[in-house]
Structure 1
Amino acid sequence: MQAFPIASLASLASLASRRTVARVAAGAAVAGTAVLALSVPAFAHVTVQPEGAAAKGGYAVVDFKVPNERDDASTTKVEVNLPADHPLASVMAQPIPGWSVRLTTTKLAKPLTVEGDKVDQAVTKVTWTADGKGIEPGYFQKFPLSVGALPDNTDQLVFKALQTYSDNQVVRWIEVPQAGQDEPQNPAPVLQLTAPAGENATSDTQDASAGKDDKKETTAAAPDSGGGSDTTARVLGVAGIVVGAAGVAYGVLAGRRRAA
């Protein structure tokens, strides 16, 4: 067996120890990074959600959900701008304890026709201001609005919003999300509109009628198929009788010839 100097053995042990420490440190660094990644809060945005179906041409109650993303300040004011390209003739706010609300009305460049009446003014902005503490850290608040009639010539409505904190910082939720692109840093609340209930009902009725027609065609075809089978069976039966009779006649003639 080859002998190694004591100094060489000590060097090898020291090297192995350093490698072990390096590996442990690297693992700890990775673990620490993972912990930091998990501890980063998932920031929420100001969003708009319908309590029911927001159908085109109808009325709906929508909620603007405002979370507090700060841990050192409260939200004291929320401003929501209604879409100018699709003005809403009717906008009503629901009272919220601890908040005052103000509706800003603007004269429309192009009047709306609602149930036969012309409307030349519409609410273009709704502002909620806290009377007390507002939305404290770790909480959110819903701000309901009754709106209508919803437009029937678009699939969505964009509501640009401003969120003001108690330290006077303003967060502008005004960036319009684009299809096929990443969500912007401060996206504006977007309300998706569904097809009118009448169109859905008409479509369902047409589908049901089509299904009934298919059943009728299938039922009508069944007797035809059965009739064809019966006719074929009868033809084959008659042919069999004829062939059998011919066989009997041939047998009689053959017997007579032998007797002669």
Structure 2
Amino acid sequence: MRFGSRVVTVGAVAGVAVLGLAGPALAHVEVSADKTTAGAENVTLTFNGEAESSDAGIESERVVLPTGIAPSGVTLVKAPAGWTFTATADGFTVGGKALKVGVDAVWKVRIAKLPDGETRLSFKTLETYSDGEVVRWIEIQEQGKDEPDNPAPLVTLKPGPSTAATTPSVAPSSVAPPSVAPSSAAPVVAEPAADDSGSSSWWIWVVIAVVLAAVAGFVVLRRGRSGSSDVNS
């Protein structure tokens, strides 16, 4: 009986030890989105930083944004009392007075627009405790592989409507346009119409000239006859 009791006691202690070691590994920083379609606008992300330290409280959370989301497109929606939001070059930080030991850090931000064409968004997060300890949740979770020890918070999205689906495409016509053979004749160039007002009256001047010539001849002839008559008389 005494041997059996010892076995049970050792087993119980070992079980508690295993659970104690497994406890911190279960803590994560998780993220969820209220809209899960790529390209969605005004999306609220809710982060939950699970407390894992038994000696210190969470003091701040620094998030590195994935490619396609600019810090300028992120605004704070909610954070623990007294915490503030600060944009950084590659993301943002929320932090302030350290939370009580064992209290999770929960905060929400609004994303102006999720990237188009992306279905897995990783938000690398550095969780700082009041004793100076920094837990880095920065390992990328790859699809189809085991979760890493310190996985970065991950949002899985559904594909958004493709450009081809929203913009009707015009299929090229299989019928070639009729070809126009080049004309061998020289191109006809329209010339300005000539003013016929002068050319249409030329015959009038000819008639006048003929009449004047006839009159002059007649006068000359009369004078010649008159002179001849005077000589004979």
* Whole-angstrom distance in 1 between the partners of 2:69 and 2:121: 10
The alignment of Structure 1 onto Structure 2 pairs a total of residues equal to 158
Amino acid at match of 1:56: A
Aligned residue for 1:94, secondary structure, equals strand
1:92 paired residue number: 75
Matched, 1:27 2:20: no
Which protein is richer in helix relative to its size? 1
Would you say the 8 A contact 1:48–1:189 is kept in 2? yes
Q: Which residue identity is paired with 2:157?
A: L
Correspondences of 1:159-174 after superposition (within 5 Å): 159-174=123-138
Q: Does 1:188 align with 2:148?
A: no
1:72 aligns with 2:50: no
Q: 2:85 aligns with which of 97, 101, 111?
A: 101
Q: Which runs of 4+ in 1 moved over 6 A?
A: none
Q: Which amino acid aligns with 2:3?
A: A
Choose which of 82, 86, 95 in structure 1 pairs with 2:65: 82
Cα shift at 1:39:
5.0
**1:47 positional shift:** 1.2
Say if 1:77 and 1:127, in contact at 8 Å, map to a contact too: yes
1:63 pairs, out of 26, 30, 46, with: 46
Q: Which amino acid aligns with 1:166?
A: S
Asked whether the 8 Å contact 2:57–2:103 carries over to 1, the reply is: no
Q: Which amino acid aligns with 2:125?
A: A
1:127 aligned to which of 89, 93, 106 = 93
Which of 82, 104, 114 is equivalent to 1:150?
114
| TM-score, normalization by structure 1 | 0.55
Q: Is the 8 A contact 1:53 1:194 kept in 2?
A: no
Instruction: Tell me how far 1:75 sits from its aligned partner.
Output: 1.2
| Structure 2 portions without partners, runs of 5+ | 166-233
Distance 2:12 2:54 in 1: 26
Greater strand proportion: 1
Q: Is the 8 A contact 2:64 2:91 kept in 1?
A: yes
Query: What is the Cα deviation at residue 71 of structure 1?
Result: 1.2
3-state secondary structure, aligned to 2:31: strand
CA distances 1:28-58 after superposition (whole Å, capped 9, x unpaired): 32233234434552531011111x2221111
Q: Percent identity?
A: 30
For the aligned residue pairs, the C-alpha RMSD in angstroms reads: 2.3
CA distance in 2, matches of 1:187, 1:150: 21
Query: For 1:163-200, what per-residue CA distance to the aligned partner results, in whole angstroms no more than 9, with x for missing partners?
Result: 1111111111111112333321111111111234x68x
Computing the radius of gyration from Cα coordinates, the structure with the larger value is 2
Q: 1:72 to 1:35 in 2, by over 3 A?
A: closer
SS in 1 for 2:3: helix
Q: Tell me the SS of whatever aligns to 2:18.
A: helix
Shift of 1:137: 1.5
